[in-house]
Amino acid sequence: MNTFDPPAAAPRGIWPKSMLSARIAKFRELGLLGFIILLSIGVQLRNPSFLTLENINDMATNTAILGILAVGMMLVIVTRGIDLSIGATLALSGMIAAQTVSAFPEIPPVAVLLIGTVTGLVSGIVIGFLVSKIGILPIIATLGMMNIFRGLTFWTSGGKWVSAHQMPVDFKAIATGKLFGINNLIVIAIIIYVIAYYFVNHTRTGRQIYAVGSNPDSAVISGINRDKILWLVYSIMGGLSGLAGVLWVSKFASAQGDTASGYELSVIAACVLGGVSIAGGSGKISGIILGSVLLGILNNALPLINISAFWQTGIQGAIILAAVLINAIVKRGVDRNHLMRRKI
Amino acid sequence: MEPRIVTNKQPFSYKRFFLQWEWMLVLLFLAITVMNMNLSEFYWDYENLRDATMGFLDKAFIVLPMVFVIILADIDISVASIVALSSVIMADLFNRGVPLELAMIICLVVGTVCGWINGMLIVKYKELSSVIITLSTMIIYRGIAYMILEDQAAGSFPDWFSYLGWGYVGSIPFILIVFTVFAVLFSLLLHKTVFGRQLYAMGNNTTAARFSGIRVDRIKVIVFTLAGLMAAVTALFLTSRMGSTRPNIAMGYELDVIAMVVLGGISTAGGKGRMIGAILAVFLIGFLRYGLGLVNVQAQILLIIIGVLLIAAVAVPQLKRSNRLTRNT
């Protein structure tokens, strides 16, 4: 006889309030989607040019780089870490790629993408080493490496810009070209999301990332190589930042020492909006897609409805704070719900 | 039976005394001085050195409360935005006809309120880390500064206002005197008061601290409010030095400040470190920047050096610990 029967006979009447928050939590992405739809309808009413195919394409192109970086950042945050260095990694690999193409204009675009990605990967491996093997807190390690990468970017360029006329047409075409009528950036982002979805949900290593994040000690006890996982996520983050660096430089047709400075905060914001918990262990691919899309819409829509550019930072900050707080309140409801179930 | 008295004071030992992180900083400081003296003949000059301190002490005011924040194992990345917001509000009010004295007080109040909001949010939503809360408020505060001034600069302060950043008392810069006063106050607060001991207790184990009767929430709010207040003090001095203000003022200060605190030997894991270390780190980085500036080393190379110093500062103690662990097992 099983003495641990689930409390099937529990009085259901005592739960309604907490059930509601649990239900919200279950469909958290749905709520975010609802918010995005409401926002889009609101903007569309004010400015009919918002939901045109052209503008949506623009918006997706502008959001693609953010989305690519958000994948790596999600993995890092899931392991309870944070990476402040990605803006600098992006700038460094973008700069190295730009200098390569301006020195060797015949080089095929794929090779440039590879050079950038490898540069980023190396940067990520260094950070991963510092975090996993030496045991420096991620925020400090990435803060230090951010300074170093940013300095290296200025150093390699000698403080000069690489501007559009120094770049061959092929290179600039990476970001403007189309595959099956869809902008290359969007295609690359979609490919990365598909791979990431498979990796995170259907491979052993992917699941181990979540295990390390939700409880590092039990992960180690159950035989997961925690150091390897940490090293891996920072390397992936670095590789993606390197790739994003090349795309960024190709898109804006200019590489500068201060490219993307402060961009790491937007990426973290996209993850947090998408429900990736900074405490580690939770975060979904669907969430970060929505988080990136929401940030992308805010960037695109606020100018369209004549909100001054100077108000955008504040509005974005307020929305991020609201999302974080609502997330926390909902989570409290869920936890209370779990407790109530246990009490019987 | 006599009760056994366990004292928390360990007997004095020369080895332990000299194996402190602060001595490492002193050595580094001497090394930098010698290096700078070799680099440039203009370095070792009382007036030059004195005036160099005026250039880097503005952000040092935030370092003091940031030591408290990091001892609590928290972090505050919104301080630079608080500097911008309080500076912008002060300048804007002044340009609208509010007397400057009143505007300066309002500047301090704005900073304090911003810090208090950070503290309250962090205490009310304990499941959210201070990184994420101060990240959001950082964007919001900076955003409000942009809403107020847009792309304008505000300024044209009266002459006496520039005394804050440029003035001397006798032959000593005014800012250096004010910083010394604050540094002594904060050191006493941290090392000689109950409040300071409570900070260390909370940094080591918040739960244990709470159960032993420390009002952890109140202390946390006080610490973040102090950070806001000192950010406003920085805003006063920085605005005075610049002569005008813009919404993008003090961009990136938060990372400089955190780097100085960590370099000063305050552990980001909480509960460890001393005020003197952070103060040494302020002067170390300040003079390093000044000396390299004299011989036209690019600011970017300096970024690399600071990054390496920062990582080395954290890595060395970690390596020592892991060595000991492997030897024991």
The 3-class secondary structure across A189-228, one letter per residue, is HHHHHHHHHHHHHHCHHHHHHHHHHHCHHHHHHCCCCHHH
| DSSP output for A19-85 | HHHHHHHHTHHHHHHHHHHHHHHHHHHH-TTTTSHHHHHHHHHHHHHHHHHHHHHHHHHHTT-----
Mean pLDDT of A69-90: 91
**Please, what is the average pLDDT of chain B?**
85
Q: Which residue in B144, B301, B310 is closest to A140 by CB distance?
A: B310
Does the pLDDT value for residue B8 go beyond 70? Answer: no
Reported as type and span, the H/E element at residue B215 is none
CB–CB contact A146 B307 (8 Å) = yes
Q: Check if the beta carbon of residue A295 is closer than 8 Å to that of residue A265.
A: no
Architecture of domain B18-323: Orthogonal Bundle (1.10)
CB–CB contact A130 B258 (8 Å) = no
The pair phi, psi for residue A255, each rounded to 5°, is: -120, 125
CB–CB contact B143 A320 (8 Å) = no
The pair phi, psi for residue B154, each rounded to 5°, is: -125, 145
Residues of A in Cβ contact (< 8 Å) with B129: 278-279
The residue to which tokens 């207040």 are assigned: B229
pLDDT for res B188: 94
* Cα separation, B31 vs B52, whole angstroms: 18
* Cα separation, A192 vs A179, whole angstroms: 15
- The answer, for A160 touching chain B at a CB cutoff of 8 Å, is no
Interface test with A, best of B85, B89, B140 (most A CBs within 10 A): B140
Residue in B with minimal Cα distance to A129? B315
Residues of A in Cβ contact (< 8 Å) with B304: 147-148, 151-152, 155
Interface test with A, best of B81, B253, B257, B304 (most A CBs within 10 A): B304
CB–CB contact A314 B315 (8 Å) = no
Does the pLDDT value for residue B193 go beyond 70? Answer: yes
* Cα separation, A63 vs A300, whole angstroms: 10
Interval B269-316: pLDDT, tens: 888 888 999 999 999 888 888 888 777 777 778 888 888 888 887 787
**Please, what is the average pLDDT of chain A?**
83
CB–CB contact A314 B135 (8 Å) = no
Nearest CA to CA, how far is B143 from chain A (Å)? 4
Interval B206-257: pLDDT, tens: 899 999 999 999 999 999 999 999 999 999 999 998 888 988 888 878 888 9
- The answer, for A95 touching chain B at a CB cutoff of 8 Å, is no
What pTM value is reported for the model?
Answer: 0.83
- What contacts A276, CB < 8 A, 6 or more positions away? A73, A74, A77, A78, A282, A283, A284, A287, A288, A291
Q: Which residue in B129, B302, B310 is closest to A279 by CB distance?
A: B129
* Cα separation, B139 vs A49, whole angstroms: 29
The residue to which tokens 């400081």 are assigned: B29
Interface test with B, best of A83, A126, A140 (most B CBs within 10 A): A140
- The answer, for A326 touching chain B at a CB cutoff of 8 Å, is no
Q: Check if the beta carbon of residue A212 is closer than 8 Å to that of residue A79.
A: yes
pLDDT for res A129: 93
Amino acid at B202: M
CB–CB contact B129 A325 (8 Å) = no
Structure tokens at A286: 């669907």
Interval B113-148: pLDDT, tens: 999 999 999 999 888 888 889 988 998 999 999 999
Task: Read off the DSSP letter of residue B172.
Answer: E
Neighbouring CB atoms inside 10 A of B211's CB total 10
Does the pLDDT value for residue B182 go beyond 90? Answer: yes
Higher pLDDT, A66 or B9: A66
* Residue B155 DSSP SS3: strand
* Residue B73 DSSP SS3: coil
Count of CB pairs separated by less than 8 Å, A with B? 143
Amino acid at A65: I
* Cα separation, B238 vs A255, whole angstroms: 31
The pair phi, psi for residue A178, each rounded to 5°, is: -130, 150
Nearest CA to CA, how far is A76 from chain B (Å)? 15
Pseudo-torsion of CA A33, A263, A246, A113, nearest 10°? -60
**Distance (Å) of CA B16 to CA A61, B277, B316, B323, B328:** 59, 16, 17, 18, 20
Higher pLDDT, A95 or A3: A95
Higher pLDDT, A286 or A2: A286
Interface test with A, best of B314, B318, B323 (most A CBs within 10 A): B314
Q: Which residue in A152, A265, A321 is closest to B140 by CB distance?
A: A321
Q: Which residue in B136, B147, B300 is closest to A311 by CB distance?
A: B147
Higher pLDDT, B102 or B42: B102
pLDDT for res A4: 44
Nearest CA to CA, how far is A22 from chain B (Å)? 17
Residue in A with minimal Cα distance to B138? A317
* Residue B21 DSSP SS3: helix
Interval B73-92: pLDDT, tens: 898 989 999 999 999 999 99
Residues of B in Cβ contact (< 8 Å) with A272: 132
Rg (CA), chain B: 21
For residues B288-326, one letter each, b for 16 or more C-beta atoms within 10 angstroms of the residue's C-beta and e for the rest, the string is bbbbbebeeeeebebbbbbbebbbebbbeeeeeeeeeee
CB–CB contact A139 B268 (8 Å) = yes
Portion of chain B with pLDDT greater than 90, in percent: 41
Residues of B in Cβ contact (< 8 Å) with A132: none
Residues of B in Cβ contact (< 8 Å) with A130: 311, 315
- Domain locations along chain B: 18-323
Residue B276 C-beta-side C-alpha neighbours within 13 Å: 9
Interval A272-313: pLDDT, tens: 888 888 778 888 898 899 889 988 888 888 888 878 878 888
Confidence of residue A20 (pLDDT cuts 50, 70, 90): low
Q: Pick from B17, B145, B128: which is nearest to B80 by CA? A: B145
* Cα separation, B263 vs A237, whole angstroms: 26
Q: What is the ipTM of this complex?
A: 0.80
Portion of chain B with pLDDT greater than 70, in percent: 91
Structure tokens at A306: 């004549």
Structure tokens at A292: 């990136």
Neighbouring CB atoms inside 10 A of B272's CB total 17
H helices of A79-182, in order, are: 86-103, 109-129, 138-157, 169-176
- The answer, for A159 touching chain B at a CB cutoff of 8 Å, is yes
Paired with B155 in beta bridges are B244
Chain length of chain A:
344
